Structure 1
Amino acid sequence: MKTTVLKTKQRASTPIQFAVLALIAGASVAHAQTAATADSTKTSSAQTATAANNSEKIIEVLVTGTKRTTSLQRTPVAITALNSAALEDNHVQTLQDIVNLVPGFSATAQGDHGVMTMTMRGVGNDSAKTEYADPEVASFVDGIYSPRPEGATALLFDLEAIEILRGPQGTLWGRNATVGAVNMQTTKPVIGKSFGNAELGIGSYKRLGMRGAFNVPVSDTMALRFAFVNEQHDGYVDYQTMPTIPLSSQRAAFLASGGKLSDFQPINTALFVTGGKKYGAQNQTAARLSMLWKPTSTSKWDLSYEKFADRGAPHMNLMQTPRAGQKMWSALIDTAPNIHRDSDAIRSRFETALSDDVSLAYIAGYAKFSGSQTFDGDAGVVVPTSFTTGGSHRQHNTNSSNYTNYSHELEVQSTGKKKVDWLLGLYYAAEDNNIRFDLPIMNGTQQGTVGWQGSFIQPKETVASKAIFGQATWNVSEELHLTAGARYTKDDRANIGGRGYGWANYPATPETVAQIPVNQNVNPWEPNSGFGSPGLNDGKYSGSKLTGLARISYDLDKNNMFYTSISTGYKSGGLQDGGRTYAPETLTNHEFGTKHTLLDGAVKISNAIFYENFKDYQFSAPVTNPDGSRTLATTSAEGAKIAGFETEIAAKLSKDDRIQLSLAYTPKAKLGKLLAGSNDYVIPTCEADKTVSNCVDVTGVTMAHTPKIQMQIQYQHTFHLSQGTLTPRVSVHYETESNLSVFSDYFGAPDKQKAYSRTDLGLRYEGDKFYMDFFVRNATNANVKTSAQNGNTGGIWVAQYLPPRTIGMNAGFNF
């Protein structure tokens, strides 16, 4: 079969034709390539698109999931690959948008920190949104680990491809790739060519989007590329008006609570937000300047600087059963939403040939992030009866959050196909983080007395991770390949000067302490601040682990292969409040997979059967201690056992008709023994475990965000017009019922997402150098929960949801 390297986003003469190529190739077909491969297989965009249009075959593509350029259908790993045109066709802007395109993958938005968390094959960590918890699914940009979901990780723009690798990837991909890795590859400059593209988009909720890219040749050995994007739309959540409560009723409620008539004051309705930026609003901007320099015929240097700014708003918790007369997508809000985040990232990759048989690559990255955020934690579920009774004011304030991380990786590997293909590497990464997070909880309204409040101040937290790794494949014959790999990782963490301050129960004598919500101008360590002695969070952690991979793959012929593997994953232990440590988690994954190319290339199928056995699975949650203090605690379940089947099928029914199916079937995803506590839920007093005040035995529950069946089917047909093509698309996503947390079996329906289907529609016109793309997302306006809780809202159930129905249009041109 002819192999073609898709060159997305270059679009030198007729860049629009790449979208046509992507439609034919399928949403799961993409590429990732090295410069050497690109140089040896160059095909003009016009030639590639013409060949694809006249073909009834699905174009073979190349991926780099094994850190070598290999054919997707001959790579013995469960990989979903998405090229830039597939991302555009599906209007992918965030990781959450990729969910529908990848079997066994979920991503949820966590409002109070504005962070996306990922689950793959039943495993994830919804608390992996601050420095206190790490994810099990690792994110990489150009092969560089991204511990914070910012920049290209948060706002996917000018990407050449995304590869999603399922199963432990720790041997080659490094830390926290316990159950998988997502590698985003930015589009690189092209030497010797001038071209560009620009796009404008509009849509519902006053959506306005702009993006573009320009390629500039500098010399015969150097080129630059500048890319930018801005995406903004209004929020989805309308503001409710504070109901009018007669003064006599307010006064009666206040006196009934023990208040003095002389202290009474009416509710200040101006404290409730009725205008301005809404929850769920987007306003994100990013720009990237990239350089490609080839100083010699056997070496090259890719270097980029990226700037990202977020001025949007977090997602909001909404009442699952709205109050009478109120819309679901609305809330009584007394904390205005705000996100103010900035990040800068530098990424570098230098590679050179040491000889005809050996190459060297040095990959380095640096990123700096700073941000702040406000979030309405009470969700306005209870209307206050007076200024200090009835409801509550709960505000989550990330006053400052700063992260600095950098990494270095050195790889030496064999080149070309040898009897033994090998790779050796060294890795070092470090983080230096600090944060101040305030949690004021006032009785009634902001005018009321303090119910409880806390301030968490962590001036310095460091992480250092070192690793040595290697992998080799013995090509026993043309058909049989044996692979073995190992990675030794050592992690060190330190919390220095961290303090957790809690309210010292002063409301009984409020005249002695100012009854004001804690904020960044309040020093909780000062006398008469109302706060008690702080909890000390100083501590150190050190741990190490050897993980590995053993795999057998066999090519039955050029169109059919199978593989079986055993691999282990590892996520470091660490520190929690009080300076206590928690244990690392480990995973052993057994997998059997097959890949097939049928009907002379018209059908491609990838299958994987897996069984995962976890040990010491980490569970993180905010808890209340028996002494009344509150902390974020990480405990370890005895483990988890998960088994399932995944398949991806792409088929050309004709040269103009394409259908794609992805399916994940997970009949078993059971958590081991765990007594779980969480302030996010109203749960009973803990009798079995005296380290937390409230807990539930969740042993044996089905893992969160793991429906038994998850399926996506997409169909499109291309009509050939005299001046271009017209392609309608329909995509339907279906999931069976799924849990939203480890407590779902205890609470039932409010903490579950029932079975649902979600439909997206598209219509794309492509001319010579101009295109228009109309789309409807969530056409049936389904309400799909991604998280739920009742602990911060007085037992009333709230949830976060995927966006409602949105309609839009993008139009672009290439030059």
Structure 2
Amino acid sequence: MNALLRIARAALPVATSLVALTPVYAQTTTAQPAAEGLGDIVVTAEKRPSVLQRTPIAISVIDPEAIKRNNVGSVEDLARIAPSFSFQAQHTQAILSIRGVSSRDTSEIGDPAVALSIDGTYSQRAVGLNAAIFDIDRIEVLRGPQGTLLGRNATGGAVNIVTGKPMLDHFAASVSAEAGNYDAFITKGMVNLPVTDTLAIRAAFQTRDHSGYRENYPARDGDDEHSKAARLTALFKPTDRFSVTLSGEYTFQNGVGPVPQAIAWRNGANGTTDFENKPAIPGDGKTFSLTQGGFLHLETTAIRWNVDYDLGIANITYLGGFRSVDFKRLANYGTVYGGPRQNLSFNQVEKPETWNHELRLTSKAGGPLKWQIGGFYFREKNDLTTLIEDYPGKAALLAPASVLQRYRYPDVVSESKALFGQVGYKLTDTVEVEAGTRYSDNDKHRTGFNQITNTNAFYSTGAINYTTTQQASDAASKIWTYHAGLNWQATPRHLLYAKFDTGFKDGGFTDLASYDPEKITAYEIGSKNRFFGNTLQVNLAAFWYDYSDQQVTQSVNINGTARNLVVNAGKSRYKGAEVELNWLATPADRFDAFVGYTHAEYTNFAVLFNGVNTQLAGNTPPQAPRWSVNLGYSHDFELASGTLTPRLQTHIESETYFTFFNRGTDRQGGYHRSDFTLTYKPRSGAWQVDAFVRNIEDKLILSYAFDPTGATRSAYVYQYAPPRTFGGRVTVNF
């Protein structure tokens, strides 16, 4: 892997040099010209090419223009524009949610509820992926459980990021530079080079830099970004029936990284806790002091491949990948109003390595019968050390520190094996039935130890007396999931579908106890339509989810120390409806809108709180807003020299909570956040200029709220989404 690392690192200057030295052509897209109405988009949501409007799945596609216009370079950027998809940052970990379904356990054992993959290779966690989102062909966001074809923990849905691939038929390249407030400077570029009639190479790079959004003097400002990334992809196609695509990718990120703000939570003369009212946020979340020394170091190397051969009666595909992450961070939790915790910090070092393999046999298009069968293997091995430390009386986070908790797990393994198959049969020219199943055999284990001291005693007397617990835990599950569907292509532009799916998310364990897999049963009906000469697209969906044993993360107080516990809620139910609209009102005017309604609640959930078994039936699961709305409008002004296009878009979201207690302290109120872009394209010359403002309202939006419920951190911890940003970008396409 050292050789691969050197190759990937070398790709960055190579890509930069190629872009600088060669002319550029614009990359083609799947959209038709405006005069022909809305274009068709080809997706691979069903692991075979299909037209979006004829695919019986609630799916949204972020195309290259939208990616470029919104400068999508991270998962958080994607959440600003993808319908019914939200992002929350728990320190450096990402919590992804679709239709209000999320997973709060971001530990080395936890699994996401939204399956995230790049070019079909699954990632167990989103850490390290932010810097890898560049030179993207499209991003597919699938709503609802994907229990058969994408069954790895996809109870909420799936996000598939499809990178740009080499093209054999022409040369292409582009380069862009962006500057903005907070000292932002971003560069991107790619070059596609046909070497021979059978070999093409594509090189791409990205750099992203901005100073911190928070003022944390005397520490460096947090919520900054300093990253660079490069990708080199080769396509070898010696015959029309055989092709191999191989990608090598390297990303590096450093700086301070995300910073949480500790908020005092003890109110009143008697020191009681007021959970109903959110505490005041000093400095409005923009200015709060932290001790110097916090940092982030994230280095990722990845290699992915796709081998495809046409057997005549079917296609055989082998795709896979390897990903290695070197992750280090020292996060400063700050002082809480002069209390005993002076420089509380979280020190984390981990090195996960992930393998993906999938072998799939897919029938050819044509005929009443379509089918595919396949096998899947996933393995992640991690070496993890985490420390909760305090640095009493020091002006910086400099060793030696007082270690309050130590977790040392040199052997953390998660493994999944699966067999899957799906078949569709046309009863008539317009009516099709589908059925599918997946068998998953999962195992995870962890060995090592943890050490914890009584923090009350430490802050009272300075005494440290560790309690050491050896760890040799494991969890295993074998589960079948199913899919059934009925599709009616009433006309070439009108599709009706109904489907039934089951899904699951793997079980696991914490230091305190184990927990079972969560299971979901989903029913959905939908309709996809084009009207008025292919200028108006209206897609509708309604869904009903029944959850059993939904996994929820709880913080408990044990001997004065906050400990995380994952428990299974008895039952919960999600029901909702969505409308997605795209309207080319005139060749110059385009409207798009998404309105999603989700009513999610626990129907039976007893949890231990302050020693009392408390029933929380009726509460809303975290990260599940009742309403989610995206609206956008753009108009092309035809000038003598070119086209000027302003676009205004806004995201509206009702209140949401960060814990299942639904307290005022962990509530994000309803808000709207708007963006504006202005694009100029000349009639002659392959370049364009963009100006933008994001989060026009400059809303202080919570991305995370945590109540540790213990003496280690007697404070609420808040994190925030980016503030208002603005700037400009120049793109050259030859």
Q: Do Structure 1 and Structure 2 share a fold, with TM-score over 0.5?
A: yes
Hey, what's the Cα distance between the residues in 2 that align with 1:168 and 1:700? Answer: 23
Hey, what's the Cα distance between the residues in 2 that align with 1:654 and 1:223? Answer: 39
Hey, what's the Cα distance between the residues in 1 that align with 2:453 and 2:252? Answer: 33
- SS of 1:606 mapped into structure 2: strand
Hey, what's the Cα distance between the residues in 1 that align with 2:24 and 2:460? Answer: 75
Match of 2:583 among 648, 651, 654: 651
| 1:674 aligned partner | 605
**Are 1:459 and 2:410 matched, yes or no?**
yes
| 2:484 aligned partner | 550
Q: Confirm or deny: 8 A CA contact 2:62 2:82 kept in the other structure.
A: no
Hey, what's the Cα distance between the residues in 2 that align with 1:730 and 1:460? Answer: 50
Displacement after TM superposition at 1:505 (Å): 7.0
1:189-211 Cα distance to aligned partner (Å, 9 max, x none) = 11143221111110000001111
**Are 1:73 and 2:53 matched, yes or no?**
yes
Hey, what's the Cα distance between the residues in 2 that align with 1:735 and 1:330? Answer: 26
Which residue identity is paired with 2:353? T
Q: Confirm or deny: 8 A CA contact 1:238 1:330 kept in the other structure.
A: yes
Hey, what's the Cα distance between the residues in 2 that align with 1:714 and 1:787? Answer: 27
Displacement after TM superposition at 1:635 (Å): 0.9
Displacement after TM superposition at 1:737 (Å): 1.7
- SS of 1:73 mapped into structure 2: helix
Match of 2:63 among 74, 83, 93: 83
Q: Confirm or deny: 8 A CA contact 1:213 1:227 kept in the other structure.
A: yes
Match of 2:620 among 692, 702, 710: 702
1:12-27 map, 5 Å: 15=25
1:500-526 Cα distance to aligned partner (Å, 9 max, x none) = 443587649968x6xxxxxxxxxxxxx
Which residue identity is paired with 1:72? L
| 1:680 aligned partner | none
| 2:99 aligned partner | 121
Q: Confirm or deny: 8 A CA contact 1:457 1:499 kept in the other structure.
A: yes
Percent of pairs with identical residues: 28
Hey, what's the Cα distance between the residues in 2 that align with 1:657 and 1:87? Answer: 19
| 2:550 aligned partner | 617
| 1:63 aligned partner | 43
Task: Call closer, same or farther: CA 1:727–1:424 in 2, change over 3 Å.
Answer: same
Displacement after TM superposition at 1:375 (Å): 1.1
Hey, what's the Cα distance between the residues in 2 that align with 1:500 and 1:548? Answer: 43
| 1:492 aligned partner | 443
Displacement after TM superposition at 1:315 (Å): 2.2
Match of 2:678 among 737, 749, 763: 763
Which residue identity is paired with 1:124? S
* Cα RMSD after superposing both structures: 2.6
Task: Call closer, same or farther: CA 1:202–1:787 in 2, change over 3 Å.
Answer: same
Q: Confirm or deny: 8 A CA contact 2:645 2:679 kept in the other structure.
A: yes
Which residue identity is paired with 1:496? T
**Are 1:685 and 2:594 matched, yes or no?**
no
Displacement after TM superposition at 1:17 (Å): 8.2
Q: Which has the greater radius of gyration? A: 1
Match of 2:566 among 617, 634, 648: 634
1:134-154 Cα distance to aligned partner (Å, 9 max, x none) = 110010100110113245555
1:412-453 Cα distance to aligned partner (Å, 9 max, x none) = 011012221000001111111111100024667679999981
Hey, what's the Cα distance between the residues in 2 that align with 1:551 and 1:323? Answer: 50
Task: Call closer, same or farther: CA 1:177–1:323 in 2, change over 3 Å.
Answer: closer
Unpaired runs of 5+ residues, structure 2, are: 1-18, 264-277
TM-score (norm 2): 0.89
Task: Call closer, same or farther: CA 1:742–1:230 in 2, change over 3 Å.
Answer: same
Q: Confirm or deny: 8 A CA contact 1:787 1:801 kept in the other structure.
A: yes
Match of 1:393 among 343, 346, 369: 343
**Are 1:309 and 2:309 matched, yes or no?**
no
- SS of 1:133 mapped into structure 2: coil
Displacement after TM superposition at 1:735 (Å): 1.4
1:276-287 map, 5 Å: 277-287=220-230
Task: Call closer, same or farther: CA 1:363–1:761 in 2, change over 3 Å.
Answer: same
Q: Confirm or deny: 8 A CA contact 2:24 2:732 kept in the other structure.
A: no
Hey, what's the Cα distance between the residues in 1 that align with 2:517 and 2:88? Answer: 24
Task: Call closer, same or farther: CA 1:450–1:630 in 2, change over 3 Å.
Answer: farther
- SS of 1:336 mapped into structure 2: coil
Q: Confirm or deny: 8 A CA contact 1:613 1:642 kept in the other structure.
A: yes
Hey, what's the Cα distance between the residues in 1 that align with 2:696 and 2:505? Answer: 39
Which is richer in strand? 2
- SS of 2:78 mapped into structure 1: helix
Which residue identity is paired with 1:471? Q
| 1:405 aligned partner | 354
Hey, what's the Cα distance between the residues in 2 that align with 1:441 and 1:282? Answer: 26
1:468-487 map, 5 Å: 468-487=419-438
Match of 2:110 among 112, 128, 133: 133
- SS of 2:672 mapped into structure 1: strand
Displacement after TM superposition at 1:335 (Å): 4.7
Displacement after TM superposition at 1:531 (Å): 4.0
| 2:733 aligned partner | 814
Q: Confirm or deny: 8 A CA contact 1:504 1:532 kept in the other structure.
A: no
Hey, what's the Cα distance between the residues in 1 that align with 2:148 and 2:130? Answer: 22
Task: Call closer, same or farther: CA 1:446–1:535 in 2, change over 3 Å.
Answer: farther
Displacement after TM superposition at 1:316 (Å): 2.4
Displacement after TM superposition at 1:708 (Å): 1.4
Which residue identity is paired with 1:332? S
**Are 1:362 and 2:318 matched, yes or no?**
yes
| 1:101 aligned partner | 81
- SS of 2:76 mapped into structure 1: helix
Hey, what's the Cα distance between the residues in 2 that align with 1:447 and 1:428? Answer: 45
Task: Call closer, same or farther: CA 1:498–1:59 in 2, change over 3 Å.
Answer: same
- SS of 2:526 mapped into structure 1: strand
Which residue identity is paired with 1:108? Q
Match of 1:52 among 4, 14, 33: 33
| 2:499 aligned partner | 565
Task: Call closer, same or farther: CA 1:327–1:492 in 2, change over 3 Å.
Answer: closer
Count matched residues: 693
Task: Call closer, same or farther: CA 1:676–1:229 in 2, change over 3 Å.
Answer: farther
Displacement after TM superposition at 1:158 (Å): 0.6
Which residue identity is paired with 1:368? S
Hey, what's the Cα distance between the residues in 2 that align with 1:490 and 1:672? Answer: 29
Q: Confirm or deny: 8 A CA contact 1:155 1:284 kept in the other structure.
A: no
- SS of 2:255 mapped into structure 1: coil
**Are 1:736 and 2:667 matched, yes or no?**
no
Match of 2:201 among 218, 224, 230: 224
Displacement after TM superposition at 1:723 (Å): 3.0
Hey, what's the Cα distance between the residues in 2 that align with 1:381 and 1:470? Answer: 55
Which residue identity is paired with 1:279? G
| 1:661 aligned partner | 593
1:316-465 map, 5 Å: 316-318=259-261, 319=263, 326=283, 328-355=285-312, 357-378=313-334, 380-382=335-337, 384=338, 392-398=342-348, 400-441=349-390, 453-465=404-416
Task: Call closer, same or farther: CA 1:362–1:153 in 2, change over 3 Å.
Answer: farther
Displacement after TM superposition at 1:789 (Å): 3.1
1:342-362 Cα distance to aligned partner (Å, 9 max, x none) = 11111000000112x211000
TM-score (norm 1): 0.81
Displacement after TM superposition at 1:220 (Å): 1.1
1:282-340 Cα distance to aligned partner (Å, 9 max, x none) = 1111110000000221011111011011113332234576677x454011212533110
Q: Confirm or deny: 8 A CA contact 1:335 1:395 kept in the other structure.
A: no
- SS of 1:783 mapped into structure 2: coil
Hey, what's the Cα distance between the residues in 2 that align with 1:434 and 1:223? Answer: 38
| 1:269 aligned partner | none
Which residue identity is paired with 2:524? E
1:657-677 Cα distance to aligned partner (Å, 9 max, x none) = 0000011011x2002433446
| 2:119 aligned partner | 142
1:1-25 Cα distance to aligned partner (Å, 9 max, x none) = xxxxxxxxx9x9985586xx7xxxx
- SS of 1:614 mapped into structure 2: strand
Which residue identity is paired with 2:85? F
Displacement after TM superposition at 1:741 (Å): 1.8
1:458-497 Cα distance to aligned partner (Å, 9 max, x none) = 1101111110000000111111000000000000111122
Displacement after TM superposition at 1:126 (Å): 2.7
Hey, what's the Cα distance between the residues in 2 that align with 1:508 and 1:483? Answer: 62
**Are 1:183 and 2:160 matched, yes or no?**
yes
